[in-house]
Structure formats: C-alpha cells, structure tokens
Structure 1
C-alpha cells in the first residue's frame, strides 16, 4: 500500500505544525467550555439597582410616597444641592441618576401644571431607563387620581398610588434546552471543538493533497499499475486514521474533564455527533485539498472556513441570541446542524428524551453534507488526474 504509506509519511512530516494547532485549540476549547458553563449557571432576570440622588425641596405625602417607590429599585445617595457637586458625583459614578423636585411641584402636577423636575443622568446607563419608567408611572397615576377623584386628599392619592404600584406579576422563564451546569460545560466544549477541529482537519488533510497533486507525483501515480479505486481507498484509509487521531485528541480531553458527570451529561450522544461531524470535515478537507495548491494560502482558507462557520452557526454565541436571518444562512453549513444537535443533547440531561429523533435528524443532515462533499471531491479529483 504505497499511497497509504506516503500519506502517513506526509502526516508525520507535518506533525509539528498539526500538533501545535491541536494543543492550542484543545486548550481554547477547555477555556471556552469553563466560561460557557459559568455564564450559564444562572438563567433568569435580576434588576440592577441604580444609584439615585433624590433632592426634594418640598415634603408632601406624594413626594414621600415617591421616595418609597424609588427605594424598591434604587440605592439613595445623599448629595448637596450644588451644581458642581452634582456634576462631580455623576462624573465619578457616585450616582447615575439625580432628580431634583422643585418647591410647589406636587400641587402644580396635580393641577396639570407645567412645572418640571430637574433630571441629570449618566448617559447610556441601562438601569436609569427603569427609574425613568417609575417616575413617569408614579406621577401619571397621581394626576389620574387627582383628575377623576378631586375630593381625594394628597395622602389618599399617595395611598392609592402605593397600592397600585405594589401589584406585581410573577414571571417564569423557560429554557428551550434545560440543562445542568455540568451539561453546559460539555456542550460548550463540544460546540467550540467545531472551530478547532475544522482548522486542524483542513490543514492536516489538505497538506497531503498539496503533495499528491504535484505534477510529478501525480503523473507517477497515474502511470503506476495501481488502480484508481485502490488509490482512493488508500487515501481514504489514511484520512480516516488521521481524523480518528484528531477526534481522539479533542474528544478524549472532553471525556476526561467531564469524567465525574457522565450520568448527568449523555456523553455518548456528544461523541456520536462529533464522529459524524469529523467524517463531514474529512470530506470538506478532501475537497479543499483538490482545489488548493498553495500551501501558504491553506492556513488562511482554514481560518476563514473555521471561524466563519463557527460564528454563523452558534459555536461561540448561543443560537438563541442570534438573528434568525443569520441562522438561516448558517443552516447551509454542517457546523450549524452539529451545534444544533449538541444543544438538543444538552436538554437530554434534564430527562427530555423526546428530542432523540431530532438529534438523529440533525446528524443525518451532517452525513448528507459529508456525502455531497465527498462526491464533489471525487469528481474534481478525477478531472485533475485527466488533465495532469
């Protein structure tokens, strides 16, 4: 099997560069997985409390009620009523929101007056938007009660507004793929593997074809008594061995790091999904090897394909946060279906076994990509041999 031995010899010759890629991307996968699991530990909404300075030049039942309403979502900071002090406090972020209630504001507001409160804020502060909402809501309710119930005193209006604002609606957040922190780690790891494995496979396999497609070597292979089918089979066997080596390097570390959590995370599905994806990458690398003859351009092409597909498909950013148009474009890449299957597998850790069929469908689509790329590679390879 001379072609097979030649391919292995090329792999060994390029081992130093491939090994560097392998170590770098395995390390990056671990770092990404740890950060992914930590960011996914708590799924929910927590209201940020703004640092507010409320300076009221009058003391009425409504202004006191307004202060109590703000206290639910703000931390009060005491400031003197001096412009320079206020500006300094905003600049050094001691406060993000300053509100000054002028004397006579309550009576003016209840009578549809034009008097305004003085507001100073830190630009772009997200928590200030919620404070603005509370301010508008409180005084709007107060003016509504004053307009429709003119016999109510300020104390009664303040009590009614307090009662209305105390009403709350419970919110329950449902995650599409409920998963534990352990499952989040292994999901993040295998999702990021899509990036590293793509680059390592393309660089390693395409390098073989750059050598085999050299005119002198290609002509020697054509003139040899070895049948073209045997040549392709020997190349396929060498590629499978190399792919198995790369897959073992990436997946083996993932299994080791998640050794204590094998029960909570269905590791077998992750491994099967990664095997299918590795086969698809072998076909893609085979195709690129038949198209590229410049070794210097190979790394650039591998990075473009690896980074591009990873960003579009949700390997770095959760698919739930991505634009639907981007995801539709990404669905034309096998990486998208690989990541989608991983996200579904994460839900299996919570006992949702009904998604098994969808996971297998995603894997079948990746296999279909592999077959399509392989057929295209064989056609292009045959044309290259004809015109060698």
Structure 2
C-alpha cells in the first residue's frame, strides 16, 4: 500500500484546498440557509395584520352601507374626506393601504345587473404601492360583491334579505382542526445548506483530487515507483482508492458540519430523512470524484483545474435549481437540467423535504434519483479511464 500511503500524505498536505472548498463553501451555504430561516415553531401563535382601509360611500344605499360595514370589519378603518385633495394625499402619503369609492347608484345597479344577467357595475379603488395587504383587501371586497351578485341572480328578495343571507354565508366558516405530522419535516435552512453543498461536493472534490494528488502524475515519481515492487495494476488500484477516499472524505466533512450546525433543528427529524439526503449527496460526490479523476488524467495545470472546477460547479448548481428553483425556469432549461447530475441529486433532496413522512415509496424515489446521479459518475470515470489508456499507449 505504498502508493496509497503517499496519496494520504498528499491529501493531508492539501489542507488549504480543504479549507477553501469545504469549510469556506460550506460556511457560505450556512449563511444562505440562515438568511432563508428555519421552520416556524409549532407553538407560535398566528397573528393576522389588518390593512388600513377607507370607504367613500357616494351611493348611500342599503347595499353600499353593508359593503362599507364589511370593509370596517376586515380592516383598521380610517376616516377619509370625500375630496380630490384627500384622495390624492392619501395615495401620496400612503395613509391607507386600500381606499374604496362606491359610485352613486351602485347598489341598485348591482341588483339590476344580477337579475338581468349583465356585467356588474365597477367599484373605484386606490390600492397602496407599498405592500400587498391593499391588494388582498381588494380581493375580499370583490369576493363580497360577487357573492351578492350570485344571491341576487338567484332570488328576487329585497336587498335587506340578500345582505342578511350574505352575512350568514360569510359567518358560517369551515371547521378546521390541527393535525400534528407523524414526523418533523426537514427544516428549510438545512435544505438550503444541503442544496448549496452541491458546489463543494462537485467542484471542490474535483479541484482537491486533480491538484492535491497531482504529484502522483509526476514522471519521476512514476519511474521511482516503477523501479520498486509496485506494478502498474497496483499503482492504478491504489491511486483509485486514494481518489475515492478523498471524495468520501469531503462528503463526510460537509455532512458532519451540517449536522453540527443544525443539530437542534434536526432533533425531531427522522434519521431516515437525513440519511436519504446524504445518500443523494454521496452520489453527487462520486460524480465530483470522477470529474476530478478526469482532470487528474488530463494533467491540467493548477489554474486550469480551478477554473474548470468552479465554472462547471456554477453551471451544475444553477441547472440543479440551487440558486433559482427549477420550477421557475422555462421548459427548455428544465430539459437541459435533466441531463446533469445536480438536477437528479436536488430532486431527491426535495423529495425528502416535501414528504410528510418517510415511506418506502419516498426511499425508492430518492434511491432512483441517486442511482441516476451515480450513473453520471460511471460515465465520467469511464471516459477518464479511456483517456488514461490512450496516454499510456502514447507514452509507451
């Protein structure tokens, strides 16, 4: 095991590469995960924020008054003068998130339109630009008007009865009960961390393997080993073991760092979920190891190895959906992403994240994604071995 011991010594002496590609990039993933935040505690009470709303009722009918009462009940109501200056000032200074102006005759026109089957009369609104609560309030108002329209279209009852029925409909809510999940889900910050781990597990391993073990390609080293009892087959076998050990070491370090940092968040998470995620990452680490082996076989320079490893990692992580969710990209980009190992690795991780609990079906899906990812490693290693044989023939 002479070659393997030399390789381990070279790996040990490559600690700056480990510091950059494992510790630094893993720390960057932690920062990104922290910025996203973890899961919301189950005992945290939900607090609804009411939008600031105002109503200018120029109709004064029974229907318009009912609509104004609805807006008051659903918002923090603000009294506003019915004047052009007041409306402009409210919009400019963001006094109210939502201002509803009910035109004259709107109540009668609404009932008439419903019974004649024509379009409902429009309402005038001023929605704040500074947030979404005004838009949500506008959707509630439109929903109220649509429900009134439907009741009026189905009945010739007077407005007072329609308003009463509408109030009964809105007050009759759906009974909701809270169901605790059988297993705690994977926290979002840990999800971001493991997704970003695709960068060091591909480019980091490739750079460390191609440069950390570069001395084994040195002709003088090969000649000295050739003069000893180490055969060519033993040299290749021990070198392959060292390269594989380097890849597994980076994967283990990244996984251990994630578990140490997120151990509290992962306390209630099923160990099976964590193991499935790590299985998907291990498959990608094998691809990174194979890619590093390919660069090692090509004998590229220090600068070229780092440039190729980082550029390839950026492309791979982008197509995997690490930076932007793959669902937000076009079908053409998604089709291209399916041809990369990072896509299948992240799909397996997301499958665990979205699963309410770990079942055999979930495990099978993740194993399938990891298997597809591992096939990329087989393909890359095959190309590297073929190139190695060609170089050996040329050297002979």
Partner of 1:194: 198
CA deviations on 1:207-266 (whole Å, 9 max, x unpaired) are 25766667x669958986764433322321321332233223212222333546466331
Partner of 2:31: 31
Which shifted more, 108-117 or 287-296?
108-117
RMSD value over aligned CA atoms? 4.2
* Contact 2:203 2:288 (8 Å CA) reproduced: no
* Contact 2:33 2:192 (8 Å CA) reproduced: yes
* Contact 1:4 1:234 (8 Å CA) reproduced: yes
**Residue from 360, 366, 375 that aligns with 1:359:** 366
* Contact 1:222 1:385 (8 Å CA) reproduced: no
Q: Distance in 2 between matches of 1:345 and 1:387?
A: 48
* Contact 1:32 1:188 (8 Å CA) reproduced: yes
- The 5 Å alignment of 1:222-233 reads 227-233=231-237
Q: Distance in 2 between matches of 1:64 and 1:258?
A: 54
Q: Distance in 2 between matches of 1:314 and 1:80?
A: 51
**Residue from 109, 121, 144 that aligns with 2:127:** 121
Q: Distance in 1 between matches of 2:49 and 2:331?
A: 29
Q: Name the CA shift for 1:87/1:194 in 2 (closer, same or farther; >3 Å).
A: same
Counterpart check, 1:264 vs 2:269: yes
Partner of 1:155: 160
Note the residue ranges of structure 1 that are not aligned, 5 or more in a row: none
* Contact 2:26 2:193 (8 Å CA) reproduced: no
Q: Distance in 1 between matches of 2:111 and 2:76?
A: 27
Q: Name the CA shift for 1:343/1:153 in 2 (closer, same or farther; >3 Å).
A: closer
Q: Name the CA shift for 1:347/1:146 in 2 (closer, same or farther; >3 Å).
A: closer
Q: Name the CA shift for 1:50/1:309 in 2 (closer, same or farther; >3 Å).
A: farther
* Contact 1:18 1:203 (8 Å CA) reproduced: no
* Contact 2:62 2:107 (8 Å CA) reproduced: no
Counterpart check, 1:241 vs 2:245: yes
Q: Name the CA shift for 1:376/1:72 in 2 (closer, same or farther; >3 Å).
A: farther
User: TM-score, normalised on structure 1?
Assistant: 0.77
Partner of 2:346: 339
CA deviations on 1:128-155 (whole Å, 9 max, x unpaired) are 44444444444455456656655x4332
Q: Name the CA shift for 1:288/1:72 in 2 (closer, same or farther; >3 Å).
A: farther
Q: Distance in 2 between matches of 1:230 and 1:284?
A: 22
* Contact 1:264 1:349 (8 Å CA) reproduced: no
User: Cα offset for 1:66?
Assistant: 0.8
User: Cα offset for 1:374?
Assistant: 0.8
Which shifted more, 363-372 or 271-280?
271-280
Q: Secondary structure at the match of 1:99?
A: strand
User: TM-score, normalised on structure 2?
Assistant: 0.76
Note the residue ranges of structure 2 that are not aligned, 5 or more in a row: 114-118
Q: Secondary structure at the match of 1:305?
A: helix
